[in-house]
Every structure is written in structure tokens, then in C-alpha cells.
Structure 1
């Protein structure tokens, strides 16, 4: 049985261990699906990339300003965790894990799943669990010498991603982000 969370946790932690830029204030876990994304016989599948933003990147924006929290304003210099354009052993393991879990019709959208592709919510949950473990074990605070929020999102902010972000930040690390999104009317 594949321990997909452990595999992806190790990959994320390894990527983050190389980040040493000053002024990092937030970490992005970008989980996104698109109809043009294909993997093997599946279409409309999800990717997962991680990145961060710095105080210098948001040019002194206030704590609740859109420029600070809207991913469209971020540098988006991402490290791929799950990538269908250049799949690796992690992408293959995710699809094997889907099969082991009995998750079928990856990428299919239906009303009961709020028209979100099958497999997408599952990947968001994995990302939230990985983020939570990084927070609970103190890796983020140790690596960056302060606590930082890990934001789980796509191109739009939906309630499921907000809930995943809350789960990922068990000590309120993302409270300011959540307040900003609410003030911007994202949910």
C-alpha cells in the first residue's frame, strides 16, 4: 500500500529545505485542475506546486491587502510536486494510490462532486495533511525562523480550499489570510 502523504511530505520538505530567501511571509500550496491537463488516459486532472512570496514581492502591501494574498500578484516561481506535463515517480504514485483507494473516473465532473474533477478534493486533502504535519512538527518555524501560513488554493478561492487551509494551519497561522479573503468577498 502506498503511503502517498509520507512520500509527498518528504518531497515538499526537501524542496522547502532549499528556500533561504529573506522576507518570506507565506507559502503557497497551489492545487489546480484544468481540462487540458492529461495523465495517461485521464483528462482534467490536478497538479500541485509549491512556492512562496516575500515582503519585497508585495511591495509593502498591508496585512489584508489583495496584493499580499491574491496569488495573481505573487511571483509564482513554483516547484512541482505533482506535475502531469513532466510526470515522475510521485505523479505515478498518486495515480496508483487513487486506484488503491477505489477512486475511479479521475477528472470526471459531476453534480454530486460540485463539478470538481474526481481526484481533486483528494489531492487537496493530501496537501492539507502534509502542510499540517509540517506545521505541527515545527519544520516551518525552524526552517524560516518564524511561523508562516501555508495557503492551499487554486486560481479562485473556494470554501473547500479555505477549510483545507484552516486544517493545514492548526495554530491559526493562516488567520490573517482567511480574514483578508473574507473581506475581499472570496467566500
Structure 2
């Protein structure tokens, strides 16, 4: 039997590798960190995506002139966030969209706007309307599901040597969701080997001046 979970994860891993490989060659020597920015189209938890980007030494130098250098280097608020390729349940990733929706339907996490569960009887659905609290529970589970998938993919980019093959050196992957301030510490720690995020974690563990 085909494992849909692995299908989506495998697609996300290979697609993310392709995105990194398409970063301009002239930009690569300047990159000191990669970024996985998790977001949702129209604030819809059924349509999550991850924008795969980076930050560069040049941007850091510019931003450090107007703020604390540690903030400029490691706080994503000072990074370039837009203009990167996106993967997940988005029109630009039709394969990922199909695999993602297949997976979350199989897991019983999908819901329709009219409140129906949208599960076929053979998959355990009863065709009854899902109450509001059930939809909210599913939204939370959908957020956790996609976030976990992104963290696993970032980790595999390291363990399978894909980042080092593309850039010639290891680079930290900072995983964040602007709806979840502070979560980037837990996510980034889980997504990287310890040595890759030593500087990132040291900055977070340093008390703010004053």
C-alpha cells in the first residue's frame, strides 16, 4: 500500500532541494542562513505553504546599521521574506497540493466551509456536519501537521547532505511562523544539527541589553 505521508514528505524534500539549487550562483557565497517561512493562503489552515528563502551577509550588514547586530543577523523580522518560491497547498506547487490534500483527508483533518466533514463513508466519514469546535480542533492539527513536515524536511536536508552539496558548506535552516512568535527556537533546534545553529541559539539565550 502506498504511504501518502511519505509521498508528501518525499515531494517536499525533493522540491525544497530544487528550490535551493535554483538560488543564483552569485548569491550563494553570501548566504549564511536558510529560511523556512510557514504561512497560509487567505489565512486558511487547509492551504499552508512554506516559502524557502535565505538571508545574506549584505542584507545583514545593511540592517545592522539601524538595529542591534544580533537582531539583524538572527531575527527574521529583519530578513528578506518575500519573493521566494513556495511549496505546499498552493497553485505554484500542484503536485504538492494534490499529495497534501490526499494526506490530510486520509488523516481525517480536512473540513469544508459548510461544516461537512468531507470524508467518504469508506474512510469512516458519516456525512454529518462538523461543529465549530471540531473545525477549530482540525485547524490546530493541520497547523501542527504542516509545521512538523517542514521541520522534518529541513532536518533531512542536513542528514542527507543536500545543503552541503548545493552550497559547499552546512547552513542553518531557521524555521518560523509569524503566527507563533518564539516557536522558531524549538523548530529551528529540531530542524538542524546542534553545530549548525550554535550561533542562532546563543543569540536567543543572551539576555537583551538593558
TM-score (norm 1): 0.79
Question: Is residue 148 from structure 1 mapped to residue 171 from structure 2 by the alignment?
Answer: yes
Equivalent of 1:65 in 63, 70, 74: 70
Structure 1 residue 137, shift from structure 2 partner = 1.3
Query: How has the CA–CA distance of structure 1 residues 52 and 162 changed in structure 2, closer, same or farther, with 3 Å as cutoff?
Result: same
TM-score (norm 2): 0.71
Equivalent of 2:136 in 86, 99, 109: 109
Conserved 8 A contact 1:58-1:67: yes
User: Pairwise mapping of residues 16-165 of structure 1 onto structure 2 (< 5 A)?
Assistant: 16-19=20-23, 20=25, 21=27, 22-33=29-40, 36-38=42-44, 45-59=47-61, 61=64, 65-76=70-81, 77-84=83-90, 86=92, 88-105=94-111, 108-110=135-137, 117-155=140-178, 158-165=181-188
Query: How has the CA–CA distance of structure 1 residues 184 and 150 changed in structure 2, closer, same or farther, with 3 Å as cutoff?
Result: farther
Unaligned stretches of 5+ in structure 2?
114-134
Structure 1 residue 150, shift from structure 2 partner = 0.4
Q: Which residue of 1 aligns with 2:192?
A: 169
Two-structure CA RMSD over aligned residues (Å) = 2.9
Higher relative contact order (CA 8 A, sep 6+): 1
Q: Determine which structure has more spread, i.e. the larger CA radius of gyration.
A: 2
Query: How has the CA–CA distance of structure 1 residues 25 and 90 changed in structure 2, closer, same or farther, with 3 Å as cutoff?
Result: same
**Aligned equivalents of 1:70, 1:157: Cα separation in 2:** 14
